[in-house]
A and B are shown apart, each in its own frame.
Chain A
Amino acid sequence: MILQLGFRNLLRNKRRTILAGMAVGLGLASLIIGDGFWKGMVENMITNITSTYLGHAQIHNPQFQDTYETEFYLKNENKILDTLKKQKMVKAVTARTMSPGMLSSTKDSLNVQVIGIEPEHERKISKFHNRMLEGHYIESDKDLVIGVGLKEKLEVELGDRIVLTVTEVGTGEIKQELFRLSGVYGMGIKEMDEGMILLHFKQLQKLLNISGAHELAISLSEEFSIEEQMATLKQVLPRDIKLESWKELTPQIVAAIDMSNYSMGIMSAILFALVALGVLNTMFMSLFERIYEFGVLRAVGTKIAQIILMILAEAFALSLVAVFFGAIIAIVIGSLMAHYGIDYSGITFGEITFTEKIYYIFTFEQYILYPLILIIFTVLISIYPAIHITRIRPAEALHRSL
Chain B
Amino acid sequence: MEKLFEIKNVMKTYGEGVTAVHALNNVNLSFFQGEFSALVGPSGSGKSTLLNVMSGLDSPTSGTVILDGKDIAKLSGNELSEFRRDHIGFIFQSYNLIPVLRVDENIEYIMLLQGVSAQERKSRVKEILDEVGLTGFEKRLPNQLSGGQQQRVAIARAIVSRPRIILADEPTANLDSRTGTDLINLMAKLNADYNTTFIFSTHDPKIMQRARRLVTLEDGKIIDDKTT
Q: Interface residues of A toward B: which range?
A: 20 to 34
Q: Contacting chain B: which of A7-15, A81-89, A109-117?
A: A7-15
Q: Does A306 count as interface, using CB distance less than 8 angstroms?
A: yes
Q: Chain B residue with minimal CB distance to A307?
A: B81
Q: Contacting chain A: which of B103-111, B129-137, B182-190?
A: B103-111
- Taking CB atoms, residues of chain A closer than 8 Å to B49 are 395
Q: Does B99 count as interface, using CB distance less than 8 angstroms?
A: yes
Q: How far is the CB of B160 from chain A (nearest CB, A)?
A: 10
- Taking CB atoms, residues of chain A closer than 8 Å to B57 are 295, 298-299, 393-395, 398
Which of A293, A297, A395 is the most central at the interface, judged by chain B CB atoms within 10 Å of its CB? Answer: A395
Q: Interface residues of B toward A: which range?
A: 20 to 34
A12 touches B101 (CB 8 A): no
B101 touches A301 (CB 8 A): no
- Taking CB atoms, residues of chain A closer than 8 Å to B100 are 5, 8-9, 11-12
Which residues of A (280-311) have their CB < 8 Å from a CB of B? Answer: 290, 292-293, 295-306
Q: Mark B35-73, 1 if CB is under 8 A from A, else 0.
A: 000000000000011001001011100000000000000
Given known pairs A296-B96, A393-B58, A401-B94, the reply for A1 and B82 (CB within 8 Å) is: no
Q: Mark B96-134, 1 if CB is under 8 A from A, else 0.
A: 101111000100111011100000000000000000000
Q: Does A402 count as interface, using CB distance less than 8 angstroms?
A: yes
- Taking CB atoms, residues of chain B closer than 8 Å to A395 are 49, 52, 57-58
- Interface of B, secondary structure class, is helix
Q: How far is the CB of B147 from chain A (nearest CB, A)?
A: 14
- The CA of A143 and the CA of B67, in the complex, are separated in Å by 106
- Taking CB atoms, residues of chain B closer than 8 Å to A301 are 81-86, 110, 113-114
- The CA of A395 and the CA of B94, in the complex, are separated in Å by 14
- The CA of A283 and the CA of B114, in the complex, are separated in Å by 28
Which residues of A (4-36) have their CB < 8 Å from a CB of B? Answer: 5, 8-9, 11-12
Number of A-B contacts (CB under 8 A): 87
A402 touches B169 (CB 8 A): yes
Which of A9, A296, A297 is the most central at the interface, judged by chain B CB atoms within 10 Å of its CB? Answer: A296
Q: Mark A224-255, 1 if CB is under 8 A from B, else 0.
A: 00000000000000000000000000000000
- Taking CB atoms, residues of chain A closer than 8 Å to B108 are 1
Q: Does B164 count as interface, using CB distance less than 8 angstroms?
A: no
Given known pairs A1-B109, A1-B112, A402-B92, the reply for A304 and B101 (CB within 8 Å) is: no
Q: How far is the CB of A9 from chain B (nearest CB, A)?
A: 6
- Taking CB atoms, residues of chain A closer than 8 Å to B157 are 300
Q: Does B90 count as interface, using CB distance less than 8 angstroms?
A: yes
A302 touches B98 (CB 8 A): no
- The CA of A298 and the CA of B100, in the complex, are separated in Å by 17
- The CA of A335 and the CA of B112, in the complex, are separated in Å by 48
- Taking CB atoms, residues of chain A closer than 8 Å to B59 are 393
Q: Chain A residue with minimal CB distance to B113?
A: A301
Q: How far is the CB of A373 from chain B (nearest CB, A)?
A: 29
A302 touches B81 (CB 8 A): yes
Given known pairs A8-B100, A395-B58, the reply for A303 and B81 (CB within 8 Å) is: yes
Q: Chain B residue with minimal CB distance to A304?
A: B77
Q: Does B93 count as interface, using CB distance less than 8 angstroms?
A: yes
- The CA of A306 and the CA of B90, in the complex, are separated in Å by 19
Q: Does B228 count as interface, using CB distance less than 8 angstroms?
A: no
- The CA of A303 and the CA of B76, in the complex, are separated in Å by 11
Given known pairs A1-B105, A12-B99, the reply for A299 and B58 (CB within 8 Å) is: no
Q: How far is the CB of A180 from chain B (nearest CB, A)?
A: 86
- Taking CB atoms, residues of chain A closer than 8 Å to B90 are 296, 299-300
- Taking CB atoms, residues of chain A closer than 8 Å to B110 are 300-301
- The CA of A231 and the CA of B137, in the complex, are separated in Å by 75
- Taking CB atoms, residues of chain A closer than 8 Å to B48 are 402
Given known pairs A301-B86, A301-B110, the reply for A293 and B96 (CB within 8 Å) is: yes
A300 touches B109 (CB 8 A): yes
Q: How far is the CB of A355 from chain B (nearest CB, A)?
A: 58
- Given contacts A8-B101, A302-B85, 14 further A-B pairs with CB under 8 A are A1-B108, A11-B100, A295-B57, A296-B90, A298-B57, A300-B84, A301-B86, A301-B114, A303-B82, A304-B77, A395-B49, A395-B57, A401-B94, A402-B170
Complex A-B: 28 CB contacts under 8 Å? A1-B108, A1-B109, A1-B112, A5-B100, A5-B101, A8-B100, A12-B99, A292-B94, A293-B98, A295-B57, A297-B98, A300-B84, A300-B90, A300-B110, A301-B84, A301-B113, A302-B113, A304-B77, A304-B78, A393-B58, A393-B59, A394-B57, A395-B57, A398-B52, A398-B57, A398-B96, A401-B93, A402-B169
